[in-house]
């Protein structure tokens, strides 16, 4: 302080502490801390408040001192060989506790360890501060109750809440906590006592941040109170890394087991028992014999010709037939003349998809259990008849399935093409987010919920039955030259019942409007879905389709949801395409471009197109 006794401006304090300094504690507060005005800092606290807690107790109740006079620091309390500053004035009590006995020091260490059980990322409750003794031991000061304690008050926040903590009158007025702005993305944990959790060296031990679109899909609203959220945040942070390591280790052990035992290791071994146990414990009926008798089969893809291009899809019980039905219907219209994504163009595509789904949702079933008239459904005469149902000016509320007989919905897709033109179009999915959510013990994966696509309507071709495959939404696809059989493209669009709609839209973008693979994926799409609650078809339009187009479709009688923006655009599917040559420019493969591969990846997801 200067001779006039006026504290210097904040940031310019110079304090010289001598051995025999005897200064007013409040003056020292002002000169060193220059505290922000707040109700509890303005209080004059008793001397006993600023003493370290007694080593024989976790806490000391408020002193009987009235606090009516300014407390003073004794010369013994401030004697020091160095200077330090701290957010708590109590930390200026240099030399305090220097005479602690070994037993006291041991008890302090024990109590300090209890405090360290809580991460510093969790803020202290309102009115609390943490301070250090000269030996580095932590203790806590409550400026409201005027007590000091070795016990970290945050420990009680991690205990199970009683019923009153959920009451809306329970929270006190919160304070601003800058400490909640965490600077570290990960927690470092000590695993020296858990060597069995060390993952295989073949597995990455790094934590990868969840990409934006995926994080949005995983974002689930909750009704937690702010205190519950802080507790949950703390718990999640502390177990996240360990849980991920355990999961990755479980997956690695399972892969090693399956590599040694093959199919039998999954359908008859330890994994099979874990699958059955978790299903039956949750009310399911699958047994070991169901798994043992399962057999995958190679299927013959189904195909249709669209203006000289053969489009190949997965047969029923997959829904790939929906895309082929729609293409056959659309072949009866001059789409290019309508213009890309005009109201008339979208109206015709929407109605064609609705007609196609009317057939698929009835006829698509397990062909080993029921007769599926695939050939007749894909015939050109049948498509011409179905196309006549489309009103060019108005939306049709409901289409019934046709009669092709003679009168008497967490998906992953990738595609790869090698230098020889061999292509793989691959898709896999647990169906709805994380499938059933059931995790077989010790296996590290969730069980899919594809059975949700069975019908419970008696007599329906897709009605639930033992050892029967349900309607499947996942449909990888290929396109070839109808004359030569040469590969034109490998493609797929993820997204449940959006998949066949996506196939139709991205193919037409290339075939009718000359877009390259990336352009074909980039442009806005529509999605048709049947809403059972209102018993009507809903048409969702992606952001980017002009407002006047939306209004024109509404005028035609469509129930429109628009515009769909942000992460909600995932409903329009996420696709990938690889083409051989630029046939989409010329309607045919030119010799000069036949060895050039073009690839595109959907901007609605986290994928990429990569040549290597």
- Write out the DSSP string of 437-506: ----TTT--PPP-GGGG-B-STT-TTB--TT-PPPB----EEEEETTT--EEEEEEEESTTHHHHHHHHH
User: What mean pLDDT, rounded, does the chain reach?
Assistant: 73
Lowest mean pLDDT among 86-100, 286-300, 475-489: 86-100
Q: Which long-range contacts (CB under 8 A, 24 or more apart) does 227-232 make?
A: 227/157, 227/161, 227/165, 227/171, 228/161, 230/122, 230/123, 230/157, 231/157, 231/158, 231/161
Active site residues: 411
Higher pLDDT, 278 or 230: 278
More confident residue, 383 or 191: 383
The pTM of the full predicted model, rounded to 2 decimals, is 0.58
**Cβ-contact 512, 585 below 8 angstroms:** no
List the single range of 198-207, 343-352, 520-529 with lowest mean pLDDT: 198-207
Enumerate residues 6+ apart whose C-beta is below 8 A from 335: 345, 348, 508, 512
Q: Please state, in angstroms and rounded to a whole number, the distance separating the CA atoms of residues 77 and 97.
A: 10
For domain 302-431+473-601, which architecture applies? 4-Layer Sandwich (3.60)
Once rounded to an integer, what is the mean pLDDT over residues 439-443?
Answer: 84
The per-residue pLDDT for 219 is 54
Strand partners, 189: none
Both tokens of residue 111? 């109590």
Q: Which of 245, 119, 116, 249 is nearest to 187 (CA)?
A: 119
SS3 353: helix
Q: Which residue has the higher pLDDT, 408 or 594?
A: 594
More confident residue, 41 or 367: 367
The DSSP code for 539 is E
> H/E/C letters for each residue in 559-576?
EEEEEECHHHHHHHCEEE
Q: Is the pLDDT of residue 409 over 60?
A: no
> Which own/partner pairs from 609-612 qualify as long-range (CB within 8 Å, at least 24 positions apart)?
609/517, 609/518, 609/576, 609/578
What is the band of 600 on the pLDDT scale with cuts at 50, 70, 90?
very high
Is residue 349 pLDDT above 60, yes or no? yes
198 or 298, higher pLDDT: 298
Burial profile 505-533: b = 16 or more Cβ within 10 angstroms, e = fewer: bbbbbbbbbbbbbeebbbbbbbbbbeeee
The whole-number average pLDDT for the span 100-112 is 39
Residues 2 and 514: their CA atoms lie apart, in Å, by 81
Question: 161: pLDDT confidence band, cut at 50, 70 and 90?
Answer: very low
Report domain extents, the chain.
Answer: 25-156, 302-431+473-601
- The answer to whether the beta carbons of residues 13 and 38 sit under 8 Å apart is no
Write the DSSP string, 375-411. HHHT-HHHHHHHHTT--SSS--S-------SPP---E
Per-residue confidence (pLDDT) for residue 598, from 0 to 100 = 92
What percent of the chain has pLDDT above 90? 31
pLDDT tens track for 198-250: 334 343 444 455 555 555 555 544 444 555 565 566 666 666 666 667 777 77
Taking the C-alpha atoms of residue 405 and residue 401, their distance in angstroms, rounded to an integer, is 12
* Distance (Å, whole) CA 549 – CA 238: 51
What number is the average pLDDT over the span 461-487?
90
Mean pLDDT in residue range 534-562: 95
pLDDT recorded at residue 353: 97
């Amino acid at each position: 302080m200067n001779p006039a006794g006026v504290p210097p401006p904040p940031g310019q304090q110079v304090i010289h502490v001598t051995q025999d300094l005897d200064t007013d504690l409040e003056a020292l507060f002002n000169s060193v801390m220059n505290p922000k005005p707040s109700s509890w800092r303005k209080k004059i606290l008793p001397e006993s408040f600023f003493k370290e807690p007694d080593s024989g107790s976790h806490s000391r109740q408020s002193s009987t001192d009235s606090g009516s006079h300014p407390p003073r620091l004794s010369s013994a309390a401030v004697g020091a060989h160095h200077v330090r500053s701290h957010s708590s004035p109590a930390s200026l009590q240099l030399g305090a506790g220097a005479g602690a006995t070994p037993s006291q020091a041991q008890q302090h260490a024990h109590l300090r360890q209890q405090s360290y059980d809580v991460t510093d990322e969790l803020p202290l409750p309102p009115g609390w501060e943490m301070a250090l003794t000269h030996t580095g031991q932590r203790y806590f000061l409550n400026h409201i109750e005027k007590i000091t304690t070795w016990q970290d008050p945050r420990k009680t926040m991690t205990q199970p809440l009683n019923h009153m903590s959920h009451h809306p009158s329970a929270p006190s007025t919160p304070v601003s906590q800058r400490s909640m702005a965490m600077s570290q993305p990960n927690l470092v944990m000590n695993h020296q006592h858990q060597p069995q959790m060390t993952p295989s060296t073949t597995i990455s031990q790094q934590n990868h941040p969840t990409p934006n679109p995926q994080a949005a899909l995983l974002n689930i609203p909750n009704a937690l109170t702010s205190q519950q959220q802080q507790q949950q945040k703390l718990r999640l942070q502390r177990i996240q890394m360990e849980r991920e390591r355990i999961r990755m280790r479980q997956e690695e052990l399972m892969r090693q087991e399956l590599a040694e035992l093959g199919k039998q290791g999954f359908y008859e071994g330890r994994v099979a028992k874990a699958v059955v146990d978790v299903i039956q414990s949750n009310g399911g009926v699958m047994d070991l014999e169901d798994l043992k008798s399962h057999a995958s089969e190679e299927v013959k893809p189904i195909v249709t010709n669209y203006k000289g291009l053969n489009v190949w899809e997965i047969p029923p019980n997959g829904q790939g037939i929906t895309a082929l039905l729609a293409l056959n219907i659309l072949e009866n219209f001059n789409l290019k003349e309508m213009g890309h994504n005009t109201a008339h163009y979208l109206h015709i595509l929407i109605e064609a998809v609705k007609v196609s789904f009317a057939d698929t949702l009835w006829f698509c079933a397990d062909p080993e259990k029921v007769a599926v008239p695939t050939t007749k459904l894909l015939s050109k005469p049948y498509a011409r008849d179905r196309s006549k149902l489309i009103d060019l000016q108005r939306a049709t509320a409901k289409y019934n399935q046709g009669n092709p007989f003679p009168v008497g919905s967490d998906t992953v897709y990738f595609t790869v093409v090698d230098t020889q033109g061999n292509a793989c179009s691959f898709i896999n999915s647990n169906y709805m987010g994380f499938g059933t959510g059931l995790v077989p013990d010790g296996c590290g994966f969730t069980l899919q919920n594809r059975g949700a696509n069975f019908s419970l309507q008696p007599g329906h071709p897709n009605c639930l039955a033992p050892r029967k495959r349900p309607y499947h939404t996942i449909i990888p696809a290929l396109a070839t030259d109808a004359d030569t059989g040469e590969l034109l493209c490998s493609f797929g669009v993820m997204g449940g019942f959006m998949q066949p709609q996506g196939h139709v839209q991205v193919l037409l973008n290339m075939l009718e409007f000359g877009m390259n693979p990336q352009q074909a994926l980039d442009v806005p799409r529509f999605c048709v879905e049947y809403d059972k609650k209102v018993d009507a078809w809903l048409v969702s339009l992606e952001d980017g389709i002009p407002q006047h187009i939306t209004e024109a479709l509404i005028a035609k009688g469509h129930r429109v949801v628009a515009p769909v923006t942000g992460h909600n655009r995932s409903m329009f599917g996420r696709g990938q395409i690889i083409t051989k040559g630029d046939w989409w420019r010329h309607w045919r493969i030119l010799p000069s471009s036949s060895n050039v591969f073009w690839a595109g990846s959907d901007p609605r997801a986290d994928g990429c197109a990569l040549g290597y």
